[in-house]
Amino acid sequence: MKWIFCFLIGVIVGLLGFFNNLAVENIAGIKFVVTSNLMLARKYTMAFLVFASSNFGLTLFASLITAFIAPEAAGSGIPEVKAYLNGVDAPEIFSLRTLLIKIVGSICAVSSSLNIGKAGPMVHTGAIVATLIGQGGSNKFRLPWKWLRVFDNDRDRRDLVTCGSAAGIAAAFRAPVGGLLFALEELASWWRSALLWRAFFTTAVVAIVLRALIDVCMRGECGLFGKGGLIMFDVTSANISYHLKDVPPVLLLGVIGGIVGSSYNLLLNKILRIYNMINEKGITYKIILACSISIFTSCLLFGLPWLAYCRPCPSDSSEPCPTIGRSGNYKKFQCQPGHYNDLASLFFNTNDDAIKNLFSKDTDSEFHLASMFIFFVTCYFLSIFSYGIVAPAGLFVPVIVTGAAYGRFVGMLVGSNSNLNHGLFAVLGSASLLGGTMRTTVSLCVIILELTNNLLLLPLSMLVLLISKTVADAFNGNIYDLIVASKGLPYLESHTEPYMRQLTVGDVVTGPLRIFHGIEKVSNIVHILKTTRHNGFPVVDEPPLSVSPVLYGLILRAHLITLLKMKVFLRNPAPVGSDASTQFSADDFSKKGFGHGDQIEDVDLSEEEMEMFIDLHPFTNTSPYTVLETMSLAKALVLFRQVGLRHLLVIPKTSDRVPVVGILTRHDFMPEHILNLYPDMVTGRWKRLRFQFPQSRKLI
Amino acid sequence: MKWIFCFLIGVIVGLLGFFNNLAVENIAGIKFVVTSNLMLARKYTMAFLVFASSNFGLTLFASLITAFIAPEAAGSGIPEVKAYLNGVDAPEIFSLRTLLIKIVGSICAVSSSLNIGKAGPMVHTGAIVATLIGQGGSNKFRLPWKWLRVFDNDRDRRDLVTCGSAAGIAAAFRAPVGGLLFALEELASWWRSALLWRAFFTTAVVAIVLRALIDVCMRGECGLFGKGGLIMFDVTSANISYHLKDVPPVLLLGVIGGIVGSSYNLLLNKILRIYNMINEKGITYKIILACSISIFTSCLLFGLPWLAYCRPCPSDSSEPCPTIGRSGNYKKFQCQPGHYNDLASLFFNTNDDAIKNLFSKDTDSEFHLASMFIFFVTCYFLSIFSYGIVAPAGLFVPVIVTGAAYGRFVGMLVGSNSNLNHGLFAVLGSASLLGGTMRTTVSLCVIILELTNNLLLLPLSMLVLLISKTVADAFNGNIYDLIVASKGLPYLESHTEPYMRQLTVGDVVTGPLRIFHGIEKVSNIVHILKTTRHNGFPVVDEPPLSVSPVLYGLILRAHLITLLKMKVFLRNPAPVGSDASTQFSADDFSKKGFGHGDQIEDVDLSEEEMEMFIDLHPFTNTSPYTVLETMSLAKALVLFRQVGLRHLLVIPKTSDRVPVVGILTRHDFMPEHILNLYPDMVTGRWKRLRFQFPQSRKLI
């Protein structure tokens, strides 16, 4: 059953990824062909108007549908998926509506020449597809077949979402192994070997679907998409040889890449905060922001190539020069016949084609140093300013473009002191900037390997990634973690902070504890459910049901509401025996997909019913995880995180009191919560782990 | 600090791996060159004698040193590393002596043309190097610098061993990413992102060291090793194209590969049981077994090529034919000038060269169908019979050879019905057989990718691996798990068996529980330590120290023995306060490397001392993990396994008894233990997961 689901996820995500690429290449392609033809006819103003207005229209459409129909579809989606896999349920993140907007919005936004990527939205798309398949349709249009809904528990859903997001990366970059590793390294909070295998199956299906579709494209039926091909940026060269003297420039590349990457994260985080303030003012402001970014981008993309000199075509070029039509490195732009504009071949192109140009070998003399610098700086800032708009937008591709420009720029500076050609420098530059922002290592290494099909480059790209990650980690965190934190999602880290070892769980348990008795009055239940927001409650048996107060187990809010709705009430407080649960099917208690479940406010009860009782015993989880109140907080966190809990009962050490002291939830382990209780813990060693910039903090 | 250690591990394992390869290629190379020269001179008997006696000598030497000096070095080592990473401490597995024997023995055994591999021994070597570095030298020759011994806890050691074994595979196959993934997928029981990163760093160092050493070989200074090269079996071909019609033969390859692989596991397991019986009879039997396998192998390798017809050399061959000297596909063997023997070019070669021949493209007509079948069958049985001998022996390379022969055989049968050449079939055949025996997916896929440098083959090899693993899993388990089980190591599986959900922890806790009081009499401690084999004891405070009996914590046997040796005794049973522990350094209580620690029998105490007391409070772990006795066994196992515990305290639900019911250890979770207590649990569903072969069981 799970395998069939994984197969379906693989097929659907593979198809979506393919058609996503196809649509982007064709929409953007037609736009560029029309504009280029106008340029050839020397109608420059007209060309700019067509270019800018089509970009504007596409961006407007993407932001309108996102803002009005599914605001959850904005942005990359990777932070949300990461938080979900950590155990944070955010409503509406995985709905059918979000899926549709994400796909359409991403195609439009990427086609509109904004400097944003499609990988993040593909991950989110994959995750939504997995969720919808797992719950047998959306909440509203649910399939009637009950047997499809076998995944009504959190773990299986998380596994499916992991598979789906792995498939998303696999489809976006045609990198099955890299996608799998990215899902495991960056997204998943819990790994299991079985999960690894199932995710591998999913990405294998994606790879095979893509491979089959390429056969279709080979026959030239994909329009401007061309031949597709399984490898995106093929830089195979028969024999790359590099020696020890090539290592220092590569080290330098890694160090600077780490610094540039961490400053990227820093700036992006600041810009996102500013954008959030703007976006909170209302939908109109969101749309205006998106549109102004689009106009700004169009002006830059069209305007900056005019800065570059026209250069004569090389006589020994294997490609037609200047390029007429869609593909090809040598854009004519405003130049004379026989000349080409090197900046235009980067700017006036889709991001994919720009990367292809930057990665290509035997093009060392094609680009000018100043052009490369302009391109790098523009990409760097454009991608930072474009991410936060209200449209589906990824970060992966912009970082690859920026890194490639940076790497090629460094390669040009090093010049003939290295055996590596500039295309390889571009690949390594991408690796270093990716390492500096995303901070994953193995998965990026494999993604770059699969993107470029160059195994001999592996030792160098491993080196670059390690250095840039190490350097960048000294300054700030992973870009996705920063976004998760800025969204205020309670993400549970896997490591424990040192001060947690000095605290016991008894120190952080707060608030008045609400306890239910084994047989509880209906009015009590309704009152407690209405006055608290807790999702789990301990059930305690007291005399006469037992000799002394005994912890019976844990009952969930959702189950209590179900019981109230089903009105399984008793007139007298007497136990009903274990056969009471047989009148319910497991389906009544299963988790009802995403979004808000039933609310206590929806339950209508008469006065008479309020005075009746419920026997909670058959519906209580009798094996909750427990810790003693003297347990170290750090150890309790390890348990909470490793086992993937939502509630952890704290029981007293001595037996002369109530049998449960409190409940720990995710929020009790958040550093903000703990430091709020014990502000003097913010001292000493653990703060020294990150460099502080008191000066820059004050300025910004 | 950890990074420096990982760097050292990477450098040392990289160097060891390189010199291992170098030594094997040179020793085996000289042997083959001498024998071939004799063959050219038509001195066949002489040639056989030289060949057989050199093989015999090398095997004898390898088994002598293994049997007498370090019997732990026999076999692959992967099962031991896997068990260690699961938490099973086996003595002497990671000692300097084992390391030396493992390296020398592996070189001799592989050079002696036995059908065994070097990957498993390299993993073990890497793990030992990591352990020795982590504990700052061997137990006997420990380095004097105390600051080197910073890893005196289990988790850090496990992490280092994981890095070391990843480096081992990386060095053996020159596959850094594949090695890392193999360590994570197959060996490690606990993963963390930080560990992933450190292991990646280690394998990156290995890759860079190997890359640097290849520069040396390029200058021709490696003797018969040739140019080395970072990619072992390069099968890059400019454009592999395959279409839908190539999929059915590949599916078939996967299905049969799965069946062949699972039968391989089954047979190997049977043979190992027989060998174990022989080996238990004494060292002489062990040596005789190893030597007879060597003679048998020599006879087969020298004899079988005579069965093949001599074939005329192809006129358009790019290589010299017949081959004179070491490398090259066309072995002359007994043939006329201008002819070659195709079987000899497989048998009469090192395994690496045989794989290279089988994987090579444009050699579709080089081998005969019957030759390939003979080679496949011989390899299959030889590798099964060779593994269990008393010498370091891996399984990876033999499975690759066998699989390559099988794949090429299938490729020949399919013939012109496929676009794939026979070399690619050989690669896919290796993949299918590896999937059928090792049962890992992602890591094998990446290892094959890195071995062959052919990214376009990735979708097909993913498909083949998935199918063969699925098919083989229906029959039996992973080869390493079978070996772990046959060695009787208490390996803790990550999944829970269904019957565990029906039991509570209270049902499986057995044996009389030994409890210490907070202030305990020395004679009691000595008595309990001498009469039990437990490694952890609960410490309970009773009146007058507390109002009622209270669980104070858990104390370890090793710490008790240290306390007894240090003689920190009190004349009166009064608490000493928390400053008592200041007279000890943390080093006194740290784990003393591998092997047996201090024994209780070593502690000498006078009569007077026996009557004194120890205050255990300062030395007790006050935050042990606990479960209520009504906790489901399955949930307790999840906790035990996920958090990586050695002891789990069971506390009572009601408070009117002793505050601790028992201690769960690894052995209490073993299915054998539970099914021994509840034999009627062996029914119904969970047994149906594996097919049963009642017939074959009876026959064997």
Across the interface, which of A197, A458, A504 has its CB nearest the CB of B176? A458
Rounded mean pLDDT, A35-53: 88
The tokens describing A127, both together, are 């995750």
pLDDT of residue A660: 83
pLDDT of residue A695: 37
Q: B642 to chain A: nearest residue by CA?
A: A642
Rounded mean pLDDT, A191-217: 84
Judged by a CB distance cut-off of 8 A, whether residue A250 touches chain B is no
- Is the pLDDT confidence value at A654 over 60? yes
pLDDT of residue B324: 63
Domain that holds residue B397: 244-487
pLDDT tens profile B145-179: 454 455 556 778 888 899 999 999 999 888 888 99
pLDDT of residue A238: 47
B394, β-bridge pairs: B117
- The reply to whether B692 falls in a domain is no
- The reply to whether B238 falls in a domain is no
SS3 A200: helix
CB–CB contact B458 A207 (8 Å): yes
Confidence band of B122 (pLDDT split at 50, 70, 90): very high
Residues A479 and A508 in one domain: no
Residues A474 and A557 in one domain: no
Confidence band of B687 (pLDDT split at 50, 70, 90): very low
Q: How many domains does chain B have?
A: 3
Confidence band of B501 (pLDDT split at 50, 70, 90): confident
Kindly give, in sequence order, each residue whose CB lies less than 8 Å from that of residue B199, ignoring residues fewer than 6 positions away.
B6, B162, B163, B166, B180, B183, B184
- Is the pLDDT confidence value at B606 over 60? yes
Å between B552 CA and nearest CA of chain A: 9
pLDDT tens profile B21-61: 888 888 888 888 888 888 888 888 999 999 999 999 999 99
pLDDT of residue A226: 59
Residues B269 and B385 in one domain: yes
CB–CB contact B207 A458 (8 Å): yes
CB–CB contact A455 B449 (8 Å): yes
Å between B654 CA and nearest CA of chain A: 6
- The reply to whether A228 falls in a domain is no
Judged by a CB distance cut-off of 8 A, whether residue A551 touches chain B is yes
CA–CA separation, A668 vs A649, rounded Å?
Answer: 12
CB–CB contact B244 A212 (8 Å): yes
Judged by a CB distance cut-off of 8 A, whether residue A639 touches chain B is yes
CB–CB contact B192 A631 (8 Å): no
Given a contact cutoff of 8 angstroms between Cβ atoms, the answer to whether B554 and B532 are in contact is no
- Is the pLDDT confidence value at B83 over 60? yes
Residues B203 and B263 in one domain: no
A466: nearest Cα among A699, A636, A289, A254: A254
Å between A678 CA and nearest CA of chain B: 21
Mean pLDDT, all residues of chain B: 81
Across the interface, which of B207, B449, B654 has its CB nearest the CB of A548? B654
Q: A183 to chain B: nearest residue by CA?
A: B193
pLDDT of residue A700: 33
| Percent over 90 (pLDDT), chain A | 23
Q: B451 to chain A: nearest residue by CA?
A: A455
| AA letter at A199 | A
pLDDT tens profile A166-185: 999 999 888 888 998 899 88
Across the interface, which of B455, B504, B638 has its CB nearest the CB of A643? B638
Q: Which residues of B touch A551 (CB under 8 A)?
A: 628, 653
Residues A531 and A453 in one domain: no
The tokens describing B100, both together, are 């030396």
- Is the pLDDT confidence value at A371 over 80? yes
pLDDT of residue A640: 87
Q: Which residues of B touch A494 (CB under 8 A)?
A: 192-193
Rg of chain B on CA atoms, in Å? 29
Residues B201 and B321 in one domain: no
- The reply to whether A688 falls in a domain is no
Please say which residue of A418, A452, A487 terminates a domain.
A487
- The reply to whether B180 falls in a domain is yes
Q: B188 to chain A: nearest residue by CA?
A: A193
The tokens describing B639, both together, are 């906790």
CB–CB contact A441 B197 (8 Å): yes
CA–CA separation, B9 vs B3, rounded Å?
Answer: 10
Given a contact cutoff of 8 angstroms between Cβ atoms, the answer to whether B578 and B618 are in contact is yes
pLDDT tens profile A549-580: 788 888 888 888 888 887 777 777 776 655 55
Confidence band of A688 (pLDDT split at 50, 70, 90): very low
A527: nearest Cα among A421, A637, A611: A611
Across the interface, which of B196, B230, B630 has its CB nearest the CB of A622? B630
Residues B607 and B678 in one domain: yes
- The reply to whether A691 falls in a domain is no
Helix axes B442-452, B422-437, angle to 10 degrees: 150
A692: nearest Cα among A435, A474, A469: A474
Q: Which residues of B touch A655 (CB under 8 A)?
A: 548, 655-656, 659
Judged by a CB distance cut-off of 8 A, whether residue B227 touches chain A is no
pLDDT of residue B436: 93
Geometric angle at alpha carbon A640, from A637 and A642, rounded to 5°: 100
pLDDT of residue A691: 39
Q: Which residues of B touch A180 (CB under 8 A)?
A: 442
CB–CB contact A449 B177 (8 Å): yes
Residue with the two structure tokens 């196992």: B637
Residues B363 and B512 in one domain: no
Please give the biggest Cα pair distance in chain B.
99
CA–CA separation, A428 vs A417, rounded Å?
Answer: 16
Q: Which residues of B touch A231 (CB under 8 A)?
A: 455-456
CB–CB contact A655 B458 (8 Å): no
State the CATH number of the domain containing residue A647: 3.10.580.10
Judged by a CB distance cut-off of 8 A, whether residue A214 touches chain B is no
Judged by a CB distance cut-off of 8 A, whether residue B192 touches chain A is yes
Decide if the complex's ipTM is over 0.85: no
Q: Which of A319-333, A550-564, B521-535 has the lowest mean pLDDT?
A: A319-333
Q: Which residues of A touch B230 (CB under 8 A)?
A: 455-456, 459
Rounded mean pLDDT, B524-532: 85
pLDDT of residue A690: 40
pLDDT of residue A575: 65
Residues A461 and A582 in one domain: no
Q: Which of A87-91, B67-71, B293-297 has the lowest mean pLDDT?
A: A87-91
- The reply to whether B695 falls in a domain is no
Å between B635 CA and nearest CA of chain A: 8
pLDDT of residue B292: 93
Please say which residue of B156, B183, B218 terminates a domain.
B218
CB–CB contact A630 B622 (8 Å): yes
Rounded mean pLDDT, B566-591: 63
pLDDT tens profile A70-112: 888 888 889 999 998 888 877 678 888 899 999 999 999 999 9
CB–CB contact A441 B200 (8 Å): yes
Judged by a CB distance cut-off of 8 A, whether residue A45 touches chain B is no
pLDDT of residue A683: 53
pLDDT of residue A509: 81
CB–CB contact B655 A546 (8 Å): no
DSSP A618-674: GGSBS---EEETTSBHHHHHHHHHHHT-S-EEEE-SSSSS-S--EEE-GGGGSHHHH
- Is the pLDDT confidence value at B291 over 50? yes
Residues A551 and A420 in one domain: no
pLDDT tens profile B207-239: 888 888 877 777 766 766 655 555 566 665 545
pLDDT tens profile B607-634: 888 888 888 888 888 888 888 888 888 8
Interface probe for B, chosen from A153, A154, A163, A177 (most Cβ of B below 10 Å), is A177
Residues in chain B: 700
Q: A184 to chain B: nearest residue by CA?
A: B193
CB–CB contact B626 A627 (8 Å): yes
CA–CA separation, A666 vs A644, rounded Å?
Answer: 10
pLDDT tens profile B396-453: 999 999 999 999 999 888 877 777 788 888 999 999 999 999 988 888 988 888 888 7
Judged by a CB distance cut-off of 8 A, whether residue B626 touches chain A is yes
- The reply to whether B698 falls in a domain is no
B268: nearest Cα among B103, B436, B39, B457: B436
CB–CB contact A446 B194 (8 Å): no
pLDDT tens profile A608-639: 888 888 888 888 888 888 888 888 888 888 88
Confidence band of A692 (pLDDT split at 50, 70, 90): very low
pLDDT of residue B512: 66
Q: Which residues of B touch A548 (CB under 8 A)?
A: 654-656
State the CATH number of the domain containing residue A470: 1.10.3080.10
Q: Which residues of B touch A463 (CB under 8 A)?
A: 204, 208
Å between A124 CA and nearest CA of chain B: 22
**Would you tell me which residues 443-472 of chain B have a C-beta closer than 8 angstroms to some C-beta of chain A?**
445-446, 449-450, 453, 455-456, 458-459, 462-463, 466, 469
CA–CA separation, B204 vs A498, rounded Å?
Answer: 30
Count of A–B CB contacts within 8 Å?
A: 172
- Is the pLDDT confidence value at A412 over 80? yes
Residues A278 and A300 in one domain: yes
Residues A206 and A339 in one domain: no
Judged by a CB distance cut-off of 8 A, whether residue A567 touches chain B is no
pLDDT of residue B152: 57
pLDDT tens profile A464-506: 998 999 999 999 888 998 898 888 888 888 777 778 888 888 8
Kindly give, in sequence order, each residue whose CB lies less than 8 Å from that of residue A43, ignoring residues fewer than 6 positions away.
none
| Percent over 70 (pLDDT), chain B | 84
Across the interface, which of A215, A469, A548 has its CB nearest the CB of B655? A548
Judged by a CB distance cut-off of 8 A, whether residue B176 touches chain A is yes
Interface probe for A, chosen from B546, B654, B658, B660 (most Cβ of A below 10 Å), is B654
pLDDT of residue A440: 87
Rounded mean pLDDT, A143-152: 50
Across the interface, which of B193, B495, B623 has its CB nearest the CB of A632? B623
B520: nearest Cα among B533, B529, B510: B529
pLDDT of residue A594: 45
Q: B625 to chain A: nearest residue by CA?
A: A627
pLDDT of residue B296: 93
pLDDT of residue A211: 81
**Would you tell me which residues 87-126 of chain A have a C-beta closer than 8 angstroms to some C-beta of chain B?**
none
Judged by a CB distance cut-off of 8 A, whether residue A260 touches chain B is no
Helix axes B154-173, B193-218, angle to 10 degrees: 30
| Percent over 70 (pLDDT), chain A | 84
